[in-house]
Each structure stands twice: as structure tokens, then as C-alpha cells.
Chains A and B, each alone.
Chain A
Amino acid sequence: MSFDPVWLSRLQWSWVIAWHILLPAFTVGLASYIAVLEGFYFFTKNEIWFRMSGFWTRIFAVSFGMGVVSGIIMPFQFGTNWSRFTDATADVLSPLMAYEGLMAFFLESSFLGVLLFGRKLVPSWAHFFAALMVAFGTLLSSFWILATNSWMQTPQGYKVVDGRFLPTDWMAIVFNPSFPYRLAHNVTAFYITTGFVVLGVAAWLLRRGRAVEESRLMIRMALDLLIVLVPLQILLGDMHGINTLEYQPAKVAAIEGRYDTVRPTPLTIFGIPDDQKEEMRYAVDIPVLGSIILTHSWDGAIKGLKEWPREDRPPVALPFFAFRIMVGIGIIMLVVAIAGQIMMRRGGRLFRSDGFLRLCQWTSPLGFIAVIAGWIVTEVGRQPWTVYGLMRTADSVSPSLTGHDVAISLALYIIVYLVMYPTGVVFMAGLVRRGPAEAEEPTLEIESGRPGRPFERASMQAGD
């Protein structure tokens, strides 16, 4: 193990953000789903929507709470480990992050309390409104943090003065070239992730013959969402890729495992990349397909990594494999979505098919893996830069840090996360096991004190 502060700081960043991203990956979609369920309940007054909403709201509360505590860690990482990046970019990036805090946290924390506890305290339209606002808050949060991330990938609207980036055009900064694609691709990924979790949980309940009516409805809703979003996501992914090819060609070269420029470009399905020898070993190539996919033409070429100096290239292995995992999962998802539609159209066969329900269970965590894989593709593919083409990762780290400093803090972060996450997952699994049928909200005596934190609210409503 090398005690290099840059390398260890990257590892620490990856550790805290990878765990953190799993929670928004779930809560962004779930907040919108809950808003939809609340909407159905408000307009139809059918109790089934109420039970479903209550069930998912309890699970939402736990994951949201964990998202908040792991999120507090993030902004401070910029100061502790990446202070030179902070000094250089804060004039441009910090307001975007501050707006996330002001807009999203405000909306979410204000209305989450009403959503979780206010059923009996506020009129039903206000409760529905609260659900909408929480969902809107999670989307605003995605908006600002992805604007920040996108600017690091495709910086715009700045001037450089004494090595610092200063803002010249806020519209250009926020709506930088990769932002619309990244936002659409990410939010769709979050929705799909939630869709597969809902599908898997409902299948689990149904196979045990519990909450049958609710579970069937959840499966139908999830499958109808997925048959739209999964193909859309593949299209969005393609558009995002074309955008990346335009602005970050070296990243695409790494994704494709392409060291040499070849015309027409084949598509490498698999291989073992070797950055030292600049070659793809055991490559399985399909001729011309690379040109078709990436340039939408028969003989277009993408630049191979050899066209960049070595110090400007991203490592190939991680983006290359992560991209294949992401795409592979996308294909599995598409198969599940189409199969589900076909079986659903043929009467109730879907709900009696133990095989398909098992499949739904197994595929339910796939969204999380795809999100992490996609994140590795885009972030490792951005290397060796923090601000693409302008500021190197090696020049971004806090100069005072030694490798041992970071090793110690990383060990501490690892220990705490390994306690927190399994505990939270066990707790959420308990909520799933209780199921929606037992979701009756107990009347809560509130003499004083606002209802508690998400975890408690969940436990109270679950009747602890």
C-alpha cells in the first residue's frame, strides 16, 4: 500500500461518496413515487394508496436520514483534503453547492416532517403538497450537485486570474455543456433504481402471499414505469456518450479501451487493458460497430489514447470494465422490463409465475450497481483532472497532508461507515418484512416536541 496523500485522498473521497450516492440513488426516485401515491390517494380516496404510501414513506425516512448524515461529511472533504482545488474553484462552484443546501435541504426538512407526521394535523391537500415538495427538493438537490459535477467535467463561463477560476457568466456555468445530459441520465438512473427496488420488494411480498393487492399494484406501476424509462435511459446514455466524445474524447477512448486511432473503429466487447504497454490484450472486437455507435456513421473514428501524452490520459481499466457492467445491467433491465410487460399483458400469469417474481427479487439491487459503475466511468474517466483539462488532481490536494494523516482518517471513515450502513440496511429490511398491511398509523400523542428524526418516526409508525 502506498502512502501517497493524493492517492489516499482519492480513496477516501471515493469511499465517502460511493456510500453516500447509494442513498440519493434510492431516495430521489422514491420521493417522486411517494408523491404519485399520495396524489392517487388524494384524488381517489382509496385506502390502498394510503397503505402503499405509508409503507414506502417509512423506508424513505430511514434512507433519507442516512443520506443526511453521510451528506454532512461531503462539503467538508473539499476543505480537509482538497483545499487547493477549493481555493481555485470556490468562486465558481461554491454558490452552486450552497444553493443545494439552501433550496433542497430547506424544502426537504420542512416538508418531510409534515409528510411523515402531519397526516392528522394538516388538511389532505397540504399532505399531498408536502409529498410534492419533498420530491421537488430531492430533484433540486440533484440539479445543483450535478451542475457542480458537470462544471468540473466541462468547465465554462469562467476566466482564470492568478490560477483561480472566476465567474464571468452564471448561466454558462450552471448550464455547462455536459449538464443537461448528465442530469437527465442521472435522474432517470435514480428513478429506474427505485423502480427495480419497488419491483423486487413487491415480488418478495407477493411470493409470501402478503399484501397481495398492494404488491400487484406496485409491480404493475413499476413495470409500466420501467418499460418507458429503461429504453429512454439507453437513448439518454447514447446522447450523453456523444456529448462526452465531443468534450472529453480521452474519457471515451478509455471507455472503449482504444489506444490506437483506427478507421473505421471496431467495438471492443472485452479485453484486458494494459496501460504500460498501451495495448488491449485478449481483445474481442466487432469491426465497424464502434464507428456506428459512437459517431453514428460507417467509417467515423475516435481518437486513441496514444494521441494524448501519457500524463494526460485516464487509466483505462476502471472506466472500461465499469462501463461494460453498466451497459450489461442496462440490457438485463431491458429484458426484465419487456418480459414483465409481455407477461402482464397475458392476464394474471405474471403474478403466479414464481420464476419471474424471483427474477424481480434478484434484479432489485441492479440499479445501485449500475449507478456506482456509471459514476466510476465518469469520474475515473475525468482523470487526471479535477477541472477537465485545466487543473490536475495531483495539484488539487491539501499540501499539508501526509500519507499517514489520510490513512488514519480513511481508516476512521471506513470503521464508522461499516457500522452505520449495515445497521441501516438491517433496519430497512425489518420495515420491508413488516409489510404494508401492518401500516396503520398509530395515533401519536404529541403534547410537546415536534415528531422526531426520520428513524424514530419510522419506528413509531411501525408500532415499536
Chain B
Amino acid sequence: MVIDLVPIWTVLIALAVFYYVVFDGFDLGVGILYGFARNDDDRSLIMASIAPIWDGNETWLIFGGLGLLAAFPLAFAIIIPAVYFPIAIMLLALVFRGVAFEFRFKRPALRRFWDRAFAAGSAIATFAQGVVLGSFIQGFEVEGRVFAGTSFDWLTPFVLLTGVALMFGYALLGAGWLTLKTEGALQRWARRCGRVCLIGVCAAIVGVSIWTPLEHTEIAQRWFSWPHIAILAPVPIVTAAIAFVEWYSLGRDHELVPFLAAIGLFLMSFLGLAISLWPMIVPYRYTLWEAASSPSTQAFLLIGTLFLLPIILMYTAWSYWVFRGKVRAGTGYH
């Protein structure tokens, strides 16, 4: 008797993706806000607030990608070619953003160029990730075990909405992070940015929540048929409550709450998506179990993962702890 490892891998991949979305999300969001920063001093502080941790955050993209490949290879093999261009553009934007970030320090003469490259790279990478998310919800044309559409099938008004939505979402996380890590005028600016982003996020959540069930009757049934509607009612209610807390705390002295509430909004959206699509990993076509790799493959990788993942998490937590607190001018990044 072999233990069914699919639920374990589902949880692991879901956690890895969520971790990536929140953590690289806030530093990509900080990158987006960076483009709107008011002066060079602010830009330096904004940069300093994410400098120590953002490469570690990006590593989770590899974990997520390779984890999906190892545990649910069929999903990887169908979804990734379907979003060929969004993925390519995301990768290149991330590379360019990384290089831009580094060389901002090197060539003062070219600093303005790298500043723009950093903000633009962050924005483009985020938009591309939103497009991937939208394409995922939208579903893919599949024949047998391969994606059968074209490389431009993903391009619909809906994915443009999710692309912009994610930019607002990451920027909200970024504003929360800056509220936590900065003070004074810069923090007040971050709070104002946060409120603007929150309006965008709420509009996007409502938009996606209306659009998705209209497009997919299955999803509409799942949410609106009795007794589901009663059981699932807390999801939108809690989301609305968190949105209110976010708005309120951005206007008050709360330092940590805006960031936590932004994570809460992402968690609820993530949950909503999971409820809509469960148990599909290639939406409307293949379930998690159908797309899973062989039990031997999952077991072989699980042994090492269960041993190494806690160590990685401990190290990460430690590094965040060591460099806690506000960033101030002259913190030592230049």
C-alpha cells in the first residue's frame, strides 16, 4: 500500500506559491512604487528596505517552478507553453530588474536609466505574472497531454484585468512593507500610495469575482448553489472586513497592520481561487491526481524536501529577524 502523496504535494506547492506571491510580491510592489518616488533620498531608502531580502524571495520562484514540475509535471507541460510570452517576458523583466538594481549603484551617470529600468522591470514582471494568473483561471485548449492552442490564446481582456490587478495588489503589499520599514514623510507617502492601491485591489477583486462565475457556469454553481452559498459566504465577508481594516489602518498609526492586512487580502483571494478551481491543476481539464508524477518520483523528492525545507525556513526567518527595524539614511547600502 502506497501512501497518497498528492495532498501533501498540493499543500507544499500551494504554500510555496503563496510564499512567493507574498514575499517577492512585496518587493516587486516596492519596485513599482519606486517609479513614483518623489526624490533620490526616498529612492535610496526604498531600495534599502528590500535590498537584503529580495534575492532570497526570488529563489522561491525556482522552488515553485521546479516543485510544480516535479510533483505535477503534466500541469507544467501544458500551462507553461500556453503562457509562452508572459513567462518569457516575466523572466527577462526579472533579469533586467536584477541587473538594473545592481548597476544603479555602479554608474551614477547612468543612475536615472537604471532607476527607470528597475521600476519598469518590476512593473512588467508583475503584470506578466498577473497575465499568467488570468490565463490559468481562463483555462487552456488541451488535446490529450499537450496544449493545443496558439502562443497568443492567453491574450484576452480578462488577463489584462488580472495583470493590472496584480500590479495594484503587489504595490499594496509594497506600501504595507514600506509603512513597516520607513518613517516620517516617506511613511506618510507610502500610506497614501497604499490607499490608492487598495481601491484598485478592491475593484479588481470585485471585477474578477463577477467575471469568473459569468464565464464558467461550474464555478457559479459551486459558489451560488444551496448550501454552498451559505457555507462560502464568510469568504467575501471576511475579505470585505480585511479590506476595511486595511483602509482604516493605513490612515492611523498602525505600522504592521497594513502589511498583514494586505497579506490577508491575498490569502482570501488565494482561498477563493482554490475553492473555484479545486481539484483542478490544469483548470477544467486535469485534476491534481491526473497530473501528478509517479508515486516513486513524489516520494523520492519528498524525503529531501521535508528535511531541507524547515532548515531553509528557519534560516530565512533568522535573516529577517537580524535585520528587523526601520531603514534610515546612512544604513550602509551605498
Cβ of B278 within 8 Å of any chain A Cβ, yes or no, is no
Give the distance to chain B from A217, nearest Cβ to Cβ, in Å. 29
Cβ of A99 within 8 Å of any chain B Cβ, yes or no, is yes
Chain A interface size, under 10 / 10 to 19 / 20 to 34 / 35 or more: 35 or more
Cβ of A460 within 8 Å of any chain B Cβ, yes or no, is yes
Partner of B319, one of A68, A99, A113, A445: A113
Which of B73-81, B209-217, B241-249, B250-258 lies at the interface? Answer: B73-81
List the A residue with the shortest CB-CB distance to B307. A102
Bitwise, B292-321 to A at CB < 8 A (1) or not (0) is 011011001100110011011001000100
Cβ of B85 within 8 Å of any chain A Cβ, yes or no, is yes
CA–CA, A451 and B332, complex, Å: 8
Give the distance to chain B from A441, nearest Cβ to Cβ, in Å. 13
Give the distance to chain A from B135, nearest Cβ to Cβ, in Å. 13
The answer on a CB contact under 8 Å between B147 and A420 is no
Partner of A446, one of B96, B326, B332: B332
Assess A109 versus B59: contact at CB under 8 Å? Given A69-B99, A91-B73: yes
The answer on a CB contact under 8 Å between A90 and B148 is no
CA–CA, A300 and B144, complex, Å: 49
Interface members, chain A 59-91 (any B CB < 8 Å): 65, 68-73, 75-76, 78-81, 83-84, 86-87, 90-91
CA–CA, A72 and B294, complex, Å: 26
Cβ of B285 within 8 Å of any chain A Cβ, yes or no, is no
Which of A177-185, A278-286, A397-405 lies at the interface? Answer: A397-405
List the B residue with the shortest CB-CB distance to A174. B300
List the A residue with the shortest CB-CB distance to B73. A90
The answer on a CB contact under 8 Å between A413 and B92 is yes
Bitwise, B56-90 to A at CB < 8 A (1) or not (0) is 10110111011101100110111111101101110
The answer on a CB contact under 8 Å between B146 and A400 is yes
Cβ of A355 within 8 Å of any chain B Cβ, yes or no, is no
Which of B101-109, B161-169, B231-239 lies at the interface? Answer: B101-109
CA–CA, A446 and B106, complex, Å: 20
B88 — which chain A residues lie within 8 A by C-beta? 80, 409, 412-413
B95 — which chain A residues lie within 8 A by C-beta? 69-70, 72-73, 416, 420
Cβ of B179 within 8 Å of any chain A Cβ, yes or no, is no
The answer on a CB contact under 8 Å between B294 and A412 is no
B294 — which chain A residues lie within 8 A by C-beta? 91, 166-167
A65 — which chain B residues lie within 8 A by C-beta? 55, 98, 102
Cβ of B48 within 8 Å of any chain A Cβ, yes or no, is yes
Bitwise, A92-119 to B at CB < 8 A (1) or not (0) is 1011011101110110011001000000
Cβ of A246 within 8 Å of any chain B Cβ, yes or no, is no
Assess A400 versus B81: contact at CB under 8 Å? Given A113-B319, A412-B89, A448-B326: yes
List the B residue with the shortest CB-CB distance to A447. B331
A419 — which chain B residues lie within 8 A by C-beta? 96, 99
CA–CA, A259 and B200, complex, Å: 67
The answer on a CB contact under 8 Å between A400 and B151 is yes
List the B residue with the shortest CB-CB distance to A94. B70
Bitwise, A333-364 to B at CB < 8 A (1) or not (0) is 00000000000000000000000000000000
Chain B CB within 10 Å, residue with most, of A76, A423, A446? A76
A95 — which chain B residues lie within 8 A by C-beta? 70, 297, 300-301
The answer on a CB contact under 8 Å between A423 and B103 is yes
A412 — which chain B residues lie within 8 A by C-beta? 88-89, 92
B81 — which chain A residues lie within 8 A by C-beta? 79-81, 83, 398-401
Assess A452 versus B51: contact at CB under 8 Å? Given A79-B69, A80-B81, A98-B70: yes
The answer on a CB contact under 8 Å between A445 and B69 is no
Assess A101 versus B55: contact at CB under 8 Å? Given A83-B80, A447-B331: no
The answer on a CB contact under 8 Å between A98 and B106 is no
Partner of B332, one of A76, A86, A420, A460: A460
How many residues of B are in contact with the other chain, CB < 8 A?
Answer: 78
CA–CA, A413 and B141, complex, Å: 27
List the B residue with the shortest CB-CB distance to A70. B95
Give the distance to chain A from B39, nearest Cβ to Cβ, in Å. 20
Give the distance to chain B from A64, nearest Cβ to Cβ, in Å. 11
The answer on a CB contact under 8 Å between A427 and B69 is no
Cβ of B325 within 8 Å of any chain A Cβ, yes or no, is yes
Cβ of A449 within 8 Å of any chain B Cβ, yes or no, is yes
List the B residue with the shortest CB-CB distance to A398. B81
Cβ of A459 within 8 Å of any chain B Cβ, yes or no, is yes
Cβ of B91 within 8 Å of any chain A Cβ, yes or no, is yes
The answer on a CB contact under 8 Å between A450 and B148 is no
Cβ of A456 within 8 Å of any chain B Cβ, yes or no, is yes
Closest 7 CB pairs of A and B: A79-B80, A90-B73, A450-B52, A455-B102, A94-B70, A398-B81, A87-B77
Residue positions of A touching B, CB distance < 8 A: 65, 68-73, 75-76, 78-81, 83-84, 86-87, 90-92, 94-95, 97-99, 101-103, 105-106, 109-110, 113, 166-168, 170, 398-402, 405, 408-409, 412-413, 416, 419-420, 423-424, 427, 444-453, 455-456, 459-460, 464
- List 4 additional contacts besides A83-B78, A86-B77, A400-B81; criterion CB under 8 Å: A76-B91, A90-B70, A400-B149, A405-B151
A-B contact pairs, 13 of them (CB 8 A): A79-B65, A83-B77, A87-B74, A95-B297, A98-B66, A103-B304, A419-B99, A444-B332, A448-B325, A449-B49, A451-B52, A456-B51, A460-B334
Residue positions of B touching A, CB distance < 8 A: 48-49, 51-56, 58-59, 61-63, 65-67, 69-70, 73-74, 76-82, 84-85, 87-89, 91-92, 94-96, 98-99, 101-103, 105-106, 145-151, 181, 293-294, 296-297, 300-301, 304-305, 308-309, 311-312, 315, 319, 322-328, 330-334
